[in-house]
Amino acid sequence: MGEVRAMCYVKPINCVRKQNQEEAEMSDNGHSEETKREITLKPRRHPRLWQSYLWWEEMMKLRQKHLLRLNAITRGASSYAPDFEEARIAAINPVLEEALDMLVADAQAVGPIYGLFTGIKGIGPSLAAKVLAQVDDIASFETISKLWRFAGYGMYEYWVDEKGAVQAPREGYVSMGTQGEREMVRKLTEPKEGWHLETRRDVKIAGWKSPYNTMLKSTVWQCVASFIKQQTPGYVELYYQEKGRWATEHPEPICRTCGVPVSECRAKRSHKVKLYTPAHMHAHAMRKVSKVLLQHLWVVWRITEGLPISRPWIHAVGGHGTYIAPEDFGWAIETRAYQNVVGREPAST
C-alpha cells in the first residue's frame, strides 16, 4: 500500500475518482452512511502508462524551455550562448523519442482501444495516451453518466443563495492537514439562511475538492479543439451544427440577470454575464462534442473489453434522444452489431 499512497501524492487522480464514485453511489442510493470518512486509495490498473505519460510530458516541457531560450537569443532578447542551448536540445531529442516510443507501447498495452482511438483524425499518440491514462479503467464506469461526471459533465445538488450563486455542494470533500499528510475528509454542508438546494452542473468551488478530474476535462477539450482544427469528419459537423442551432434560436446576446437582449439591459456594468455571445455558443458546442466523444470512447472501450453497456447510452446524448453511433464518426468498430448482444442493463443495477 505504501507504493500506492506515494504514487497518489504525485498525482492524486485516483482520489478524485474514488470521490466521484462515492458521490455517484450516494446520489443513486439517496443516502450517506457517514458525514466524515477518509478516502481509501485505489491502485491504478495501468500505473506504468501514467508514469510514462508524465515522463514524456516532462521531456516535452524541458525541450520547450530550451527552444524558448534559443528563440530569445536569436531575437536578440538574450545574451546567452546559443551553442549551449543547441547542444541541450540535441541531447534531449533522442530521450524524447525514446519517451514517445515507451508511451505508445504502454498505451498499446491497454488494449485495442488505443488503436481505435488514434484511428480518429486529430487524435495523436500522446493525446490518446493521456486520455487512456486518466480514465485508466473503463470497467469502473458502469454507466456513461459516471464517466461524464468524472470528466466534468455531471450534475449534483448544490446549495444556492438568494442571488442564484452556488455556495457549496450538498456533500463533498475538503482538504485537511498539511501538504505532505493531506487527507480528504467528507463533509455535509450546513446551509446558511436563505440557501436552497438545486441540481446544477458540477462546478469547482474554493475550499472544496473538485467533483471531477480537471485534467481529464481539459484533455478532452484539447481533443475537440484538435477535431475543429483538423476538420475531423462527424465531430466537426456536430460542432458547427450545435453552434448554428444556437445562433438561429438566439440571434442576440441576452443579459442573464434581466433576461432581455443586452442592448436593453440597464445595468451593463454590474450585469456581467451575457448569454449567447460567440464565446458562450462556442463553449456550448465544445461541451456537446466533448460529451459525444466521451460516450463513443466509453461504448467502444467497453465493447473491446467485453463489458456490458447500460441502456441509457442510446438516449443519453444531451437529452435529445438521438444516438450517434461511433462508427458514423470514424471509429473502426460496428457498435450497432453489439446493440442486441450487450445493449442491456448491467446485472448489478
Residue 198 pairs in a beta bridge with 158
Q: How far apart are CA 15 and CA 174, in angstroms?
A: 12
Per-residue binding letters, 197-236, with Zn ion (x by CB under 5 A): ----------------------------------------
Read off the C-alpha cell for 85: 542551448
| Residue among 147 and 254 whose Cβ is closer to Zn ion | 254
**Among the listed residues 138, 255, 286, 300, the single contact to Zn ion using CB under 5 A:** 255
Q: Where are the alpha helices (DSSP H) in 76-213?
A: 82-108, 113-118, 125-135, 144-150
Using the rule CB under 5 A, give the single segment among 53-61, 256-264, 290-298, 329-337 that binds Zn ion.
256-264
| Residue among 164 and 319 whose Cβ is closer to Zn ion | 164
CB of 304: closest distance to Zn ion in angstroms?
50
The count of C-alpha atoms lying within 13 angstroms of the C-alpha of 62, restricted to the half-sphere facing its C-beta, is 15
Ramachandran bin of 56, using left for φ above 0, alpha for ψ from -120 to 50, beta for the remaining angles? alpha
CB of 258: closest distance to Zn ion in angstroms?
3
| Residue among 1 and 165 whose Cβ is closer to Zn ion | 165
CB of 279: closest distance to Zn ion in angstroms?
18
The residue count for binding Zn ion (CB under 5 A) is: 5
Q: Where are the alpha helices (DSSP H) in 122-196?
A: 125-135, 144-150
| Residue among 139 and 267 whose Cβ is closer to Zn ion | 267
| Residue among 261 and 330 whose Cβ is closer to Zn ion | 261
Note whether 19 and 211 are within 8 A (CB).
yes
CB of 203: closest distance to Zn ion in angstroms?
22
Q: How far apart are CA 146 and CA 149, in angstroms?
A: 5
By CB under 5 A, what part of segment 104-143 binds Zn ion? none
Other CB atoms closer than 10 Å to residue 129's CB: what's the count? 27
CB of 247: closest distance to Zn ion in angstroms?
21
By CB under 5 A, what part of segment 257-276 binds Zn ion? 257-258, 265, 271
By CB under 5 A, what part of segment 180-199 binds Zn ion? none
11 touches Zn ion (CB under 5 A):
no
- Angle of helix 278-304 relative to helix 125-135, nearest 10 degrees, comes to 70
Other CB atoms closer than 10 Å to residue 328's CB: what's the count? 13
- 301 closest CA partner among 70, 173, 102, 114: 114
CB of 135: closest distance to Zn ion in angstroms?
41
| Residue among 43 and 259 whose Cβ is closer to Zn ion | 259
Q: Which residues contact 310 (CB under 8 A, 6 or more apart)?
A: 142, 143, 144, 344, 345, 346, 349
CB of 267: closest distance to Zn ion in angstroms?
5
Instruction: Give the distance, in angstroms, between the CA of residue 335 and the centroid of all CA atoms in the same chain.
Output: 23
Using the rule CB under 5 A, give the single segment among 100-108, 116-124, 253-261, 309-317 that binds Zn ion.
253-261
- Residues of this chain that interact with Zn ion (CB under 5 A) are 255, 257-258, 265, 271
